[in-house]
Structure 1
Amino acid sequence: MKKYMKIIPLGGVGKIGYRNCTVYESQDSIVVVDMGLAFPEDDTPGIDFTIVDTKYLEKNIKKVKAIVITHGHYDHIGGLVHMWQKVPAKLYAMPFSMEVIKSQFDYKRVKLPTNYEIMEFGKTYNIAKDFTFEMVQVMHSIPQSGGVYFNINGKKIFHISDFRFDKAPILPEKTNYKRLEEIGKNKLDMLLVDSTSAFSETNPTETDVKENTLKVFQEAKKAIAICCFSSNVSRVLMTLQLAELTGRKVVILGASLQNMTNGAVATGLIDAKLVERVVLRADETKNMSRSKLIYLGTGSQGEEMSAMARLARDELRGVRLQEGDILVHSAMSIPGNEESVWNMFELMAKKGVEVKARHNGFKIHASGHASREDLIEMFHIMKPKVIVPIHGTTQHMHEVERIIEDQTHSVPCSIAYREFIQIDDENMLEVHDFSEDKLLNATGEFAIDGSAQVPLEDYFIFRQRKFMHEEGAVFIAMAVNKSGMIISQPSITSKGLGDETKLQEIYTYALTNIYRQMKANNMDKAIRDTEKAREVIRVAGRRAFIQHRGKKPMTVVDFVTI
């Protein structure tokens, strides 16, 4: 059998935090790196999240030998609940990542498959003949993150995923520089590298963030609210340590943050005794001075239903922020989320809460992604023959290309978006568009919409939702008997157009239009052609709202047979 290797990015390129999923394929085996999700965007209202299409993997199911998880962020593991059932290969994950995966399955009330193995850093896993991988420890904003070092048909590829270099971390974890240097000396063929923070020149250490946050804690006279990503265990540990140092207690807000904290305790990353000493429930703080309170919650991106956004709207039972309190925004706004984050800040400011964030000069967050400085250091250590940027927008990936060009020892850079890379047994490297493969060309994306999976290319359902959101909806019902004779006048209700009591005049106009058009079409006594009648009534009723409300609502007509 002719040997070859393919690298197929089913997700994880072209956008940030977006359904990371990469296929590594040889002539007889496939390993999938990560199965992530992406959260809804403006053009997909109402959905839970999106995942990649597994059509290609299902078609080649006999070749799929393993799913390897680089770390426990939802854009890398969030699709497992839905995708693992379709692609039931053996799962490999580090202990902390597995704890997060288990909590995700518990939350969805889905039985966790037993076909998994807890990985160890530095151990070589033999998937098939001429196909091995090893997990190499790197730093990121979540514990036990790693890059996957492949040897496929003698080709050495390092899928480093999300990483950063931190010379002074808080968690007792460090990048395995020694192993990286060994890989670099062993003639690395290809490096797939995180491009998310390629535009940032440098990055503060977690210790820098801790020292800056301590100053805020020491100066605060009242309650402090800290907003961070739920997966940022370093920030959780930092908050607990500083709370104990400054004599405060911590209330953890949000199930996802609580689950991450539990996972960190279960895997020994956070001392259980520290949690016992410092963490309280909200109802245990009723009689405490506000100067002794810290609220640690999710909502760093201003998500509507997050703990911090709800706290800003006074929607959390038993918890309130007041004038003189402080909000510490220990995160960066992901591109596209700036408005929702700013709106949350505005709500806080109107309460008299002082917002301390990146925009007003407070250095209280360190990105978990490689800065330009980190990328240059990684390139010098690894010395790859080819570099492939991943995990960023097209602009981020091109910035990595520019960084490479600026270096004295430049190497080829391949940007693969809706493209796959193939290396044959004659060492020829080619980049092919998805359109060149019939199955890959048909591969798309799915929205998880309640209990349904809806192809994203099926935009009709999302257009309907967006239309109703913008224009409202009108419902017209009419009772008829089995012979089609009309036995009651139409009734009209609406949603999203205002108070029903204030719309009665428009309803009257609508009914007048409907009667006029029904009579003109000889259907004022009986309905013989329901489809025609439905359209006549729909157009007549809708016209009244266009003329008197300035809206073009979705209008639904229903005949009730009595």
Structure 2
Amino acid sequence: SEADVRDALADLISGLRGKVAVACFASNVARMDSVIRAAESAGRRVCLVGRSMHRMAAAAKSVGLFVGIKEFLTDQQAGAAADNEVLFLCTGSQGEARAALSRIADGTHQHVKLGAGDSCVFSSRVIPGNEIPIRNLQNRLADRGVRLYTERDHPGIHVSGHPCRGELEQMYRWARPQIAVPTHGERRHLLEHAAFARDLQVPQTVAPRNGDMVRLAPGRAEIIDEVPAGRIYVDAGVLTPENGDALRERRHAAFNGVLAVSVVLDGRGKIVSGPLIRALGLPADDDYPMDEVLDDLAGEAEQAFGRLKGDQREIDSEVETALSRAVKKASQRVWGRRPVVETTVLRV
């Protein structure tokens, strides 16, 4: 429980010397409270670092939380205090580039400096997908001589901030809602939450997907429509969907590489020059250098052109399709992938 985390943090922090920083989610006010009280029990005053920490602390105080704790130190007061009398409560436990802890690790934070003899406690868990930025952050701190403490080597300094079934049940008993609409988690989480609400006698439940429009009233709550949903990118000043054609093609080119094929034909449909092929983003080695690879691909393209009938050679699109298919097929044999192939037909 969170009470166990408070005890574990108090035991850990009381044994540390030098400056101490603790990283946690600012949105978890209960954890902020645990860190603050653990720090005070160890004889340290708390300095909040990061806009989110200041914003959440102000919100917590406005609704009557954080009762019985000392005033937070300002940046200037923390700088003037002895190292073993201050604890910095920081944002950035997931390695976010602009968060306070990342700037501390880079040595660019205006007020907070950590180095040899200091400690940093990660009262958080690694969210899947954030492994690399967190590892890089911790390595940068370690390079400065900062001793790191995580849940892996100090079990008990973190517990999930998400409520369990018993806590959810208590919430429903307090609120006694007529409608439950789960909105956070994967699909199986939403369905299970809706089923749990029904077990607790909530009259109506809706488990929407992203983009579903839910009507709560009048009448029964239900899904009545679907609206566009998903990430929108700003690409060269243009709003474009995450899975739009432009970005999809760019990802395909980045992964598979690009081949540009050009051929010059005369008025009788015969090759005057080429096919000439250029490669971008594709590998080669000493045993099979790129010049030889491209020559072989050009040979495949020339053979494909030779298989075209006379009337087909007069249509640029027919020539482009034939050459592109041949080059893609040959590329599959060479690299095990199908690069983007752009074929240009010139006529003289």
- Give TM class, smaller chain: 0.5 to 0.7
Partner in structure 2 of residue 506 of structure 1: 293
8 Å CA contact retained: 1:474, 1:493:
yes
Deviation at 1:388, TM superposition (A): 0.8
Q: 2:259 aligns with which of 471, 475, 482?
A: 475
Q: Does 1:356 align with 2:150?
A: yes
Partner in structure 1 of residue 9 of structure 2: 213
Looking at both structures, which has the greater relative contact order when contacts are Cα pairs under 8 Å and sequence separation is at least 6? Answer: 1
AA aligned opposite 1:556: E
Q: 2:229 aligns with which of 445, 462, 466?
A: 445
Partner in structure 1 of residue 329 of structure 2: 543
Aligned partner of residue 391 in structure 1, secondary structure:
coil
Q: Does 1:278 align with 2:78?
A: yes
For the residues of structure 2 that align with 1:510 and 1:411, how far apart are their CA atoms? 66
Q: Does 1:492 align with 2:278?
A: yes
Q: Does 1:516 align with 2:303?
A: yes
Distance 1:268 1:363, change over 3 A: closer
For the residues of structure 2 that align with 1:412 and 1:520, how far apart are their CA atoms? 70
For the residues of structure 2 that align with 1:504 and 1:306, how far apart are their CA atoms? 45
Deviation at 1:354, TM superposition (A): 5.1
Q: Does 1:430 align with 2:220?
A: yes
Distance 1:411 1:276, change over 3 A: same
Partner in structure 2 of residue 168 of structure 1: none
For the residues of structure 1 that align with 2:155 and 2:303, how far apart are their CA atoms? 65
**Aligned-pair Cα RMSD in Å:** 5.5
For the residues of structure 1 that align with 2:190 and 2:258, how far apart are their CA atoms? 47
Distance 1:274 1:376, change over 3 A: same
For the residues of structure 2 that align with 1:482 and 1:322, how far apart are their CA atoms? 72
Q: Does 1:415 align with 2:206?
A: yes
8 Å CA contact retained: 1:420, 1:431:
yes
> What does 1:163-562 correspond to in 2, within 5 Å?
203-204=1-2, 209-220=5-16, 226-229=22-25, 231=27, 242=39, 258-261=50-53, 263=55, 274-278=74-78, 296-298=90-92, 300=94, 316=106, 328-332=121-125, 337-338=127-128, 340-341=130-131, 344=134, 356-357=150-151, 361-365=155-159, 367=161, 369-384=162-177, 386-393=178-185, 394-401=187-194, 403-404=196-197, 410-417=201-208, 418=212, 420-424=214-218, 429-434=219-224, 440-441=225-226, 443-450=227-234, 451-455=237-241, 460=245, 463-464=248-249, 467-468=252-253, 471-478=255-262, 490-495=276-281, 497-498=282-283, 503-521=290-308, 529-558=315-344
For the residues of structure 2 that align with 1:549 and 1:511, how far apart are their CA atoms? 16
Deviation at 1:546, TM superposition (A): 1.0
8 Å CA contact retained: 1:478, 1:558:
yes
8 Å CA contact retained: 1:506, 1:545:
no
Deviations 1:350-376 (A, max 9, x none): 979755127962233561x54433333
- Structure with greater helix share of residues: 2
Deviation at 1:472, TM superposition (A): 1.4
Deviations 1:434-466 (A, max 9, x none): 3xxxxx24x23142112444456x665565455
8 Å CA contact retained: 1:518, 1:536:
yes
TM-score using structure 2 length: 0.62
Percent identical among aligned pairs is 15
Distance 1:399 1:342, change over 3 A: farther
Deviations 1:503-535 (A, max 9, x none): 444333223323333454489xxx964323332
> What does 1:131-170 correspond to in 2, within 5 Å?
none
The number of equivalent residue pairs is 318
5+ residue gaps, structure 2, are none
For the residues of structure 2 that align with 1:274 and 1:363, how far apart are their CA atoms? 26
TM-score using structure 1 length: 0.42
Deviations 1:266-321 (A, max 9, x none): 989697852333379xxxxxxxx9xx996945252x67x6769989xx9x477999
5+ residue gaps, structure 1, are 1-202, 253-257, 281-288, 435-439
Deviation at 1:237, TM superposition (A): 8.2
8 Å CA contact retained: 2:319, 2:345:
no
Aligned partner of residue 539 in structure 1, secondary structure:
helix
Deviation at 1:550, TM superposition (A): 1.5
